[in-house]
Amino acid sequence: MDFSLSKEQILFQKSIIDFARKELNDNLIENDEKGSFSLKNWKKCAGMDILSIQCPVKYGGCKEDFLTTVLGIEALSYACKDSGLVHAIATQLCCIILLSLFGNETQKEKHLPNLSKGEKIAAQAITEPEAGSDVLSMQTAAVISGEYYKINGSKTFISNGPLADVIILFAITNPNRRQLGGVSSFIIQKDQKGLRKGEPLDKMGLRTMHNGELFFDDCLVSHDDILGKEGQGMAIFGDVIEFERTILAAAHLGTMQRILEMCIQYGKSRRQFGQPIEKFQSISNKISDMKVNLELGKMMLYKMAWMKDQGRRATLETSIGKLFISESLKKACLEAIQIHGGYGYMKEYEVERELRDGIASTIYSGTSELQRNIISSMAGV
């Protein structure tokens, strides 16, 4: 096993860090309060080819291996304090991967160039009001109606939903089968008749990323816009969720690295009882735990990315990684508040925003409880 990064990967990370520090951290407190998504910074990231990193060269991308992509997202999240923007980019990358793997030639030519350039924004629509972790209980249905599928139902908490130009929708096409051959995936345009978008949801954290509801009322979708084959939806979902959990874990680790360094710096500068607080074991133990979780998380993350580069399924590994890294991020955010004391509770220090953003990591892309169920099941329990 070789754990070293190539010179190209190291330079790639450095270029993203330098870019993000210089370009992406303006007006963040104000944007967080208003719940504003920075389209300007989105376009800057597109200009740096961050959105095109998983798009094939044939369609205007600069296709890199998945490990390099993961390293790039880790670097972006480390240097960019706008976790909402990073999460929106992660969603875009997942949709590009999904289309690259399962789209036909016509679909790829139509959508990938615009998505990789950031000219259009994509969203995945899976979660419903009564179907979160229990994906197979979704009620949104697509019924064949002549040359079209007629879709009725609703989705909620959809990342990029209010802004999306392209929506990859998962819906029931055979209610009698569901798990095996009952769910299909569709590509839907923002101006599709019968599609209605809700306003951005007012959230506790990740406020700079827009999540929202999508409503489908006799929405007619052509047979040409089905992704893959009818009934292939759960197979598609099972594959892309492994990429998604890996990309998001990379973002979490980047944030953890930034929080660790923030706490170390504060521990050196803050003095109590005549000495820097880093000298107190109660503080140094918190920092050492952060470092342990960060390093263990990196080993898990890079294994997850390597497996996907090898074309292997990584259901167990991505569930373990998602569980451990998201819970570690939440713990690091809570400990950062304790280390900063009263200052950590103040908006101007920005630690409290990291906590508000970080808590959601244990919920989206499969809750921690769901990951434990997957892990125990695959362990034979």
On whether the CB atoms of residues 255 and 327 are closer than 8 A, the answer is no
CA angle 106, 109, 111 (to 5 degrees): 105
SS3 category, 28: helix
Phi and psi, residue 140, nearest 5°: -60, 125
- Pairing, β 211-222 against β 148-159: antiparallel
Residue 244 among the catalytic residues: yes
Q: What is the rounded CA–CA span in Å between residue 211 and residue 217?
A: 20
SS3 category, 59: helix
Q: Which candidate in 64, 74, 213, 244 is catalytic?
A: 244
Which helix H or strand E contains 239, and what residues bound it? helix 233-269
SS3 category, 175: coil
Place of tokens 């492994």: 242
Instruction: Give strand pairing partners of 141.
Output: 152, 172
Which helix H or strand E contains 319, and what residues bound it? helix 315-340
Tokens of 287: 């920092």
Cβ partners under 8 Å of residue 200, min gap 6? 35, 162, 210, 211, 212
Q: What is the rounded CA–CA span in Å between residue 217 and residue 228?
A: 23
Q: What is the rounded CA–CA span in Å between residue 153 and residue 140?
A: 4
Give catalytic residue positions: 244
